[in-house]
Structure 1
Amino acid sequence: MRNNYLLALLSAFLLWLAWPPIPYSSVLLFIGFVPLLVAIEQVMRGNYKRKGSKVFGLAFFTGFVWNTASIYWVYNAMNAFLPALPSLFVALIPYTLGPLLMALAFRLYYQMRKRNSILLSFMGLISFWIAYEYLHQSWELSFPWMTLGNGFSNFHQLVQWYSVTGVYGGTLWIWLVNVVVFLWYWQRREQVEVYSNKILLSVTSALVLIPSVGSIIAYSQYEEHINPSEVVTVQPNIDPFGKWGPITPEEQMRVLMDLSQKVAKLNTEFFIWPETAISNYGGINEEEFREYPQYRAVIDFLEPYHNGNVLSGIESYQFYDDQRTFTARPVGNLFKDHFNAAVLIDGSSKLQFYHKSKLVPGAELMPFGSKLAFMKPLFQHFGGTTGGYGSQEEPSVFYSASGIGAAPVICYESIWGNYVAEYVAKGAQFIAVITNDGWWGDTSGKDQHLLYAKLRAIENRRWVVRSANTGISAFINQRGDIVQRSSWWVPTALSQEINLNEELTFYTKNKDLIVYLALLTGLISIGLMMVRNKKITNDSPND
């Protein structure tokens, strides 16, 4: 088994090397799983006991090493919110839970191989893998950071067709190439030819070249419809660990406005400020926001900009007469709900709020909180978000007085392609990602977060404007090119004329159709797994 684990380690190394932010390395994803598939094949054909457990262990080992090496920075992020021991516990969720689900997909693949041909079994493996990725973006322990299709964010010229398939198209592409390369390599090594090696090489070439060449042509020929809007994004660079210590909420507002004014033009229509940029000690009451000095300061700031709007992160709360949400906590005779939110402020008295929906498990959300309510006293030392922040179920679009629709995407939400597409389907003409990547420190996390935003631009053919407190602020065009970006740990503001877009892509209108196809083929695979064939094929392993 030692050699098999070395092969599994080789897969983990290739997958890590292929993962952002290493530029143009994503082509290694096409062979990343081949060593692991070889190791698993050797187990299935070898003289081992408990083969299923060994297959599971190999797959988990690859997934754990690959995930931990790629997202080591998660511990930094959790440690910003939680004490050391709970931080380590929460960080183990993405380090281990994803790999466990990956390993389960391989375990089910092994079960299929005992009863079905290798091609049918690979259909099952790909279906189970995509089902795992979909589950990991859908439940309360969601963390879709490591969805395979995200791996092409460092080489976006190859995946312009994400405007049709989304990132799951990338996942399917990677797996199809890995399977064909594995079949070719295994046959060459074993000196057999169940399938023609020439055909396998031809299929591999076609699978890699046709989508790549087609994408590069689409990239080179893509032209944006001219519909300009002047936008400013601000990076105040305020240390999140020292917030409200050396700097007050009023001082933060002055920093934001001063940076904005340095690059603003009279025709600037949107000022994008980062996550929790507007706040107060204890938060801001949404019903009474107009009475706060922060609101008055923004209104005064906007006076020279006749079509100006400030789209900003805000720490807010609401009071209810009853506990209408699980996250609302009793305060006297009322119930108080805290939000990590966004607000749109213009020259009128109109206010638009959006409450972050995709909350970070552990830091902003107690997973399965309604079922784990008894644990709330254990989490009270976490601060003002005991039981989690409040949220809203669906995205909402902010509209300026001139009718421009903006998608207020808060931090973690920008990883969900289908969720961001809902904003666009509802009328968003550009995407504003407001975030605070400073919790992670100067790690690859901030770079990965920036690069993933390129995929949202391609999927929806919308400009993405990123405003990061201490991360990387940027403008990304409809092809996924980073047109402007800030440096790490530098207070700055950037101004850019972007093009608004109203056309909807196939992906925006139809979302993740590949997932539904995979779920269907996954159900078929489970059915095949449960029905023993009368004749076991010669490429099926025996226990």
Structure 2
Amino acid sequence: MNLRIIILSILSGLLLWLSWPTMPFTPLIFIALTPLFYITEKVRHKGAYFGLIFLAFLLWNAGSTWWVGNTPVPASGVFANSFNAFLMTIPWVMYKNSRRRLSATSSYFALIVYWLTFEYIHQTWELSWPWLVLGNGFAMHPGWIQWYEYTGASGGTVWVLLSNILIYTAWKRARIHDYSFAEFCKREIWKPAVVLLLPLLVNVLIHPVPDDPAKQINVVVVQPNIDPYDEKFAGGNSMQQVEKLISLSKEKTDSNTRYIIWPETALFPQGGWEEQLNYTPEVTAVRDFLRQYPHAKVITGAVTLKQYRQPDEAAEGSRTMEDGTHWDAFNSALQIDTSNSIQIYHKYELVPGVELVPYVRYFNFMKKVALDMGGISGSYGRTPACEMLTDPAHNINVFPTICYESVFSNYVASRARAGANLLVIITNDGWWGNTEGHRQHMQYARIRAIETRKWIARSANTGISAVVDPLGNIYQPQPYWEPAVFKAPVTPRYDLTFYVKYGDLISRGAIIFCILLLIHAIFSRFIPGIRNVENNQ
């Protein structure tokens, strides 16, 4: 194999890594895929082509998300990065095959369609991992992507792919026609320039609905900094953790505080039965604290347990006691006030392999495979509870996005469409250590804020806790791995963005075109004259 081709594959992977948050070279993403187009044209051998594309994506995954291996089983990170790189390679193999049947322009269009379909599927199946959606690459530059309120992150994916295609084709034509620099600028460079600059110029025309000052409320965000490996899930210290959370909360809570926000799994790290929560010492302590501030509510993460009284209530894959009773463990969010009513939300988008054994309902023997990452061995349940945490008296609906859920554009938008007017992210990013993992996760919250035009209050166990406004600006970010608490004003917002109202139209369109392209590919096998277009491109 030509050494230059291998170097180009490595170069593409390195450019993708260097352009990814939180690296400071974001513009490189507009050229990072161009080496792969050259490889696609020059490499004929199918196995070699697959290997070269896979190598590029493996380097990108390993460079950007190597920290997923910071678990009790580090090999899980190797598998996750390798498997995701494999999946990313599939759209490019399909693009390569399309070149035999379609013109150059049509095959480029096919690549965009295949990649968008891949990203959409990666948000909907049980092996989901949308962390490296191309549109997430602009998270550190909210001023570039205010138009995400119309397109969501999928619009950013199209921007990246189309820019790479036009830059590559401009370079290719310049080589073929031996243009001088002046001719190159006159004939070719304007095309990618328009695609690169137009989205930036569109931002000037976007003016989100301003906040209503009369609806502003105060929240207190707590960052307890409890070590998830050695302290949080250790038996017998649950009440000590609650006392620490209450002590920090007291530092900033006052009569104007409406919500006090604690992080993921702050309560009941060993699990608390849902029908008994009102009688637990943890909830009693929280209510004793809240009686000093009767207008405040605590939103907190918790591990909750639910026993199914009727067999038909239990979801497939639920756990079974010795007496045959079905039950489940949930990664939950609770809303606690001074009444006896506790609202419970169950996390739906679960981390594959950590919180969810994918498709366990078809493979019962896999129930005990999930890593012990939350004090509960095995998959968490997905039986629905309440959609959001409500305060009807003040018309406030909080969607408590739990950790990994905040990476899902479509899911968060669906909750805003259902009526959520304030977003809360509760997370425990301490599993990843002091790596890019927690920093990337913080940056992705800015995209969710822009897509939905909602305020976000983010409580992270070990950091980074902060508040994000509807323009994607971050306020009061707290230092990593330090206890912290802060008070901030936020405003519930009731307007719906185009993206929230109508959903991800770009991805839906891509799926339709993907189906049509696959039908065309099937029929082309039986129609003479359609194949072997690649030789003429």
- The TM-score range, normalised by the shorter chain, is over 0.9
Q: Partner of 1:3 in structure 2? A: 4
- 1:431 is displaced (CA, Å) by 0.5
Write the distance in 1 (CA, Å) between the matches of 2:474 and 2:102: 47
Q: Partner of 2:403 in structure 1? A: 411
Write the distance in 2 (CA, Å) between the matches of 1:449 and 1:120: 36
TM-score under structure 2 length normalisation: 0.92
Contact in 2 for aligned 1:320/1:336 (Cα 8 Å)? yes
Matched, 1:331 2:321: yes
Write the distance in 1 (CA, Å) between the matches of 2:319 and 2:360: 13
Name whichever of 35-44 and 1-10 sits farther off: 35-44
Matched, 1:489 2:477: no
Q: Partner of 1:399 in structure 2? A: 390
- Long gaps (5+) in structure 1: 45-50
- 1:392 is displaced (CA, Å) by 3.4
Q: Partner of 2:229 in structure 1? A: 241
- Rate the CA distance shift 1:130–1:381 in 2: closer, same or farther, 3 A: closer
Matched, 1:362 2:370: no
The aligned runs of 1:182-193 (5 Å cut-off) are 182-191=168-177
- 1:349 is displaced (CA, Å) by 1.5
Write the distance in 1 (CA, Å) between the matches of 2:133 and 2:12: 16
Q: 1:436 aligns with which of 403, 409, 428?
A: 428
AA matched with 2:12:
S
Contact in 1 for aligned 2:354/2:371 (Cα 8 Å)? no
Deviation by residue 1:147-188 (Cα, 9 ceiling, x = unmatched): 100001011110001101000000011101110000011122
Deviation by residue 1:461-504 (Cα, 9 ceiling, x = unmatched): 00111100012101000100001110001101111011210000
Write the distance in 2 (CA, Å) between the matches of 1:478 and 1:378: 40
SS at match of 1:433: strand
- 1:331 is displaced (CA, Å) by 2.2
Q: Partner of 1:48 in structure 2? A: none
- Rate the CA distance shift 1:345–1:360 in 2: closer, same or farther, 3 A: same
Contact in 1 for aligned 2:317/2:361 (Cα 8 Å)? no
Write the distance in 2 (CA, Å) between the matches of 1:477 and 1:381: 35
SS at match of 1:154: coil
Contact in 2 for aligned 1:60/1:100 (Cα 8 Å)? yes
Deviation by residue 1:361-410 (Cα, 9 ceiling, x = unmatched): 11111111012212346669889645411123587111124331111110
Write the distance in 2 (CA, Å) between the matches of 1:503 and 1:258: 36
Q: Partner of 1:72 in structure 2? A: 66
Write the distance in 2 (CA, Å) between the matches of 1:39 and 1:15: 16
Deviation by residue 1:214-243 (Cα, 9 ceiling, x = unmatched): 225537x87433320101110000111122
- Rate the CA distance shift 1:383–1:212 in 2: closer, same or farther, 3 A: closer
Write the distance in 2 (CA, Å) between the matches of 1:191 and 1:501: 55
Contact in 2 for aligned 1:105/1:128 (Cα 8 Å)? yes
- 1:426 is displaced (CA, Å) by 1.7
AA matched with 1:126:
I
Q: 1:225 aligns with which of 206, 209, 212?
A: 212
Matched, 1:388 2:359: no
TM-score under structure 1 length normalisation: 0.91
- Rate the CA distance shift 1:29–1:393 in 2: closer, same or farther, 3 A: farther
Write the distance in 2 (CA, Å) between the matches of 1:329 and 1:115: 50
Q: Partner of 2:125 in structure 1? A: 139
Contact in 1 for aligned 2:354/2:372 (Cα 8 Å)? no
Q: Partner of 1:127 in structure 2? A: 113
Matched, 1:37 2:37: yes
SS at match of 2:85: helix
Contact in 2 for aligned 1:316/1:338 (Cα 8 Å)? yes
AA matched with 1:56:
F
AA matched with 2:399:
A
Contact in 2 for aligned 1:457/1:464 (Cα 8 Å)? yes
Matched, 1:470 2:471: no
Q: 1:289 aligns with which of 277, 294, 318?
A: 277
SS at match of 2:139: helix
Q: Partner of 1:26 in structure 2? A: 26
Q: Partner of 1:112 in structure 2? A: 98
Q: 2:497 aligns with which of 491, 502, 505?
A: 505
AA matched with 1:115:
R
Write the distance in 1 (CA, Å) between the matches of 2:463 and 2:483: 10
Contact in 1 for aligned 2:344/2:385 (Cα 8 Å)? no
Write the distance in 2 (CA, Å) between the matches of 1:303 and 1:370: 44
Aligned residues: 525
Contact in 2 for aligned 1:224/1:478 (Cα 8 Å)? no
Write the distance in 2 (CA, Å) between the matches of 1:296 and 1:39: 64
- 1:199 is displaced (CA, Å) by 5.0
Write the distance in 2 (CA, Å) between the matches of 1:462 and 1:246: 38
Q: 2:47 aligns with which of 28, 45, 53?
A: 53
Write the distance in 1 (CA, Å) between the matches of 2:84 and 2:186: 36
Q: Partner of 1:47 in structure 2? A: none
SS at match of 2:476: strand
Matched, 1:527 2:514: no
SS at match of 1:407: strand
Write the distance in 2 (CA, Å) between the matches of 1:141 and 1:527: 26
AA matched with 1:408:
P
- 1:525 is displaced (CA, Å) by 2.4
Q: 2:153 aligns with which of 161, 167, 171?
A: 167
Q: 1:302 aligns with which of 275, 287, 290?
A: 290
Contact in 2 for aligned 1:267/1:306 (Cα 8 Å)? no
- Rate the CA distance shift 1:197–1:42 in 2: closer, same or farther, 3 A: farther
Q: Partner of 2:247 in structure 1? A: 258
- 1:450 is displaced (CA, Å) by 0.3
AA matched with 1:305:
Y
Name whichever of 323-332 and 339-348 sits farther off: 323-332
SS at match of 2:334: strand
- Rate the CA distance shift 1:7–1:491 in 2: closer, same or farther, 3 A: same
- Rate the CA distance shift 1:337–1:447 in 2: closer, same or farther, 3 A: same
SS at match of 1:352: strand
- Long gaps (5+) in structure 2: none
The aligned runs of 1:79-90 (5 Å cut-off) are 79=72, 84=73, 87-88=74-75, 90=76
Contact in 2 for aligned 1:20/1:448 (Cα 8 Å)? yes
- 1:442 is displaced (CA, Å) by 0.3
- Rate the CA distance shift 1:387–1:438 in 2: closer, same or farther, 3 A: closer
Write the distance in 1 (CA, Å) between the matches of 2:535 and 2:254: 69
SS at match of 2:282: helix
Deviation by residue 1:333-368 (Cα, 9 ceiling, x = unmatched): 322211110100112221110111111111111111
